Structure 1
Amino acid sequence: MSQIYYLIRSRADGRYLVAHPQTATETTKKDGYLLMFREDFDALSYLNTHGADVAEQFAVESVAGSQVKSLLQRWGFVGVGIVQDPLLPKVDFLTHF
């Protein structure tokens, strides 16, 4: 059985919520790291905590783990940021190869 992840997407233009962590050796400028959540309520908590004034402009959608690779390639993301704690937030960044 495949893992399900939850993503935050703009209702206005369909773009996904991404992170652009600052690195000392940034050599390429791609479209960042796709933020992914393990539960839908974690994504909603993240929105309500860090963007309460714009939360209604976003929607939470689900994606199967088997679809993540093609999603990264289609949108040109560097990798994923799996949000471990939506309140702090604590994010584990993984680079796509």
Structure 2
Amino acid sequence: MFSDIYYLILSRADGRYLIAKPNTGGQGTDAGYLLMFREHYDALSYLNTHGVDVANRFTVESATGTQINNLLKRWGYSGVGIVQDPLVPQIEFFRQ
């Protein structure tokens, strides 16, 4: 995982990354899971399928596994969510 390249969706407005927050019923202060894609085109497909009205407000950024670890620490994310299928979407979650 450390040498792999992943693609993240980044807001152009405030520089925040696209995350998934679990449904905890209003309890907990979970910071969410950083959404990651294995291919650049998967991230674009996700944006164009699920955020067609706001897709122009985001950009896709690449990151290595070591950069991801630093992002998790800096932003306090609970873990990562690797998007397996951007159209459904099907996401595999991993806690830090």
**TM-score category, normalised to shorter length:** over 0.9
The alignment partner of 1:45 has SS state of helix
CA contact (8 A) 2:21 2:30 kept: no
In the other structure, the counterpart of 1:22 is 23
1:23 Cα deviation from its structure 2 partner: 4.1
In the other structure, the counterpart of 1:49 is 49
In the other structure, the counterpart of 2:76 is 76
Question: Which amino acid in structure 2 is aligned with residue 15 of structure 1?
Answer: R
Task: Kindly provide the CA deviation profile for residues 12-41 of structure 1, in whole angstroms up to 9, marking residues without a partner as x.
Answer: 0000000012147x8641320000000000
1:87 Cα deviation from its structure 2 partner: 0.1
Deviating above 3 A after TM superposition, structure 1's stretches of 4 or more consecutive aligned residues are none
1:12 equivalenced with 2:9 (yes/no): no
1:46 Cα deviation from its structure 2 partner: 0.1
Percent identity over paired residues: 63
In the alignment of these two chains, the number of paired residues is 95
In the other structure, the counterpart of 1:38 is 38
Task: Report the RMSD for the aligned CA atoms in angstroms.
Answer: 1.6
Q: TM-score, normalised by structure 2?
A: 0.92
Give 5+ residue unaligned stretches, structure 1. none
Task: Kindly provide the CA deviation profile for residues 28-77 of structure 1, in whole angstroms up to 9, marking residues without a partner as x.
Answer: 41320000000000000000000000000000000011211111000110
